[in-house]
Amino acid sequence: METRGTTEAELIARILAGEADLFHELIRPYERMVYMTVFSVVKNEAEAEDGAQEAMISSYRHLASFRGDAKFSTWLLTIAINEGRKRLRKAKSAAEESLDEPTEGQEGDFTPALLTDWREIPLEALERKELREVLRAAVAELPDIYRQVFTLRDLEELNVEETAQALGIQPGAVKVRLHRARIMLQKRLVPFLKTTAPPRNRWFGRAL
């Protein structure tokens, strides 16, 4: 089973022609992406792992319906998102909660937090483990519609079009939600970034 230099389209054709085991190779580059995507919907590690497995199995079962007009990764992510949403619905109906998906309204304050001294963000601060924890928590606390867009765009680095396709929303909504998500995270993390910095004595030529 030689697969080096094989394109994704060739892999898919061979799988459909009966070389089922090649499916392992096909999905290998997307393992992380699928997990993170399901996680962005269900926000629970165990559910995300189960969901990622189910999404992969489902994509195998439906591989013949993949048309090749979208990228395989986008198609796979659509399945992953649907799997996540299915799980969320189940969990929510168990809790008798509303299923209404909120849309981005104008409510909320989407102005960034101000820093008076940008030099207070040392690069070393980004290496701190605590900062990663704060960021993870902040992302988890984002409203669902913002977290999902943020995950696909800034964590998985999909483009606007792919993100819109995977989530079934307009590209314009992707941009608005991403902007708001980033501002919200900036606000959440700025105080932390500031406190990690060593104090500076002078700035703008005045003694503090």
Partner 1 sequence: MKLECKHVWQHISEYIDHTVDAKLREEIELHLEHCEICSAILDATRNILVLTADDRTFELPVGYSERLHKRLAEELKKIEKDSRKE
CA 62 to chain centre: 23
Instruction: Tell me: does residue 16 bind partner 1 (CB under 8 A).
Output: no
How many helices (H) and strands (E) are present in the chain, helices listed first?
9, 2
Encoded tokens for 65: 């319906």
Mark 97-136 with x for binding to partner 1 (rule: CB under 8 A) and - for no binding: --------------xxxxxxxx--x----x----xx--xx
Polymer length of the chain: 208
Q: Which residue in the set 97, 124, 141, 157 belongs to the binding site for partner 1 (CB under 8 A)?
A: 157
Instruction: Tell me: does residue 36 bind partner 1 (CB under 8 A).
Output: yes
Interface with partner 1: number of residues (CB under 8 A):
48
- Report how far residue 66's alpha carbon sits from residue 63's, in angstroms, rounded to the nearest whole number: 5
Give rounded-to-5 percent helix, strand, coil for the chain: 70, 0, 30
Burial class (CB in 10 A: 0-12, 13-18, 19+), 155: middle
What's the min distance (Å) between Cβ of 100 and partner 1?
A: 26
Instruction: Tell me: does residue 145 bind partner 1 (CB under 8 A).
Output: no
The residue among 111 and 201 lying less far from partner 1, judged by its C-beta, is: 111
**Strands, E, within the chain: which ranges?**
202-203, 206-207
What's the min distance (Å) between Cβ of 73 and partner 1?
A: 16
Give residues in contact with partner 1 (CB under 8 A).
Answer: 20-21, 23-24, 27, 31-32, 35-36, 45, 49, 52-53, 56-57, 60-61, 111-118, 121, 126, 131-132, 135-136, 139, 150, 154-155, 157, 160, 175, 178-179, 182-183, 185-186, 189-190, 193, 204
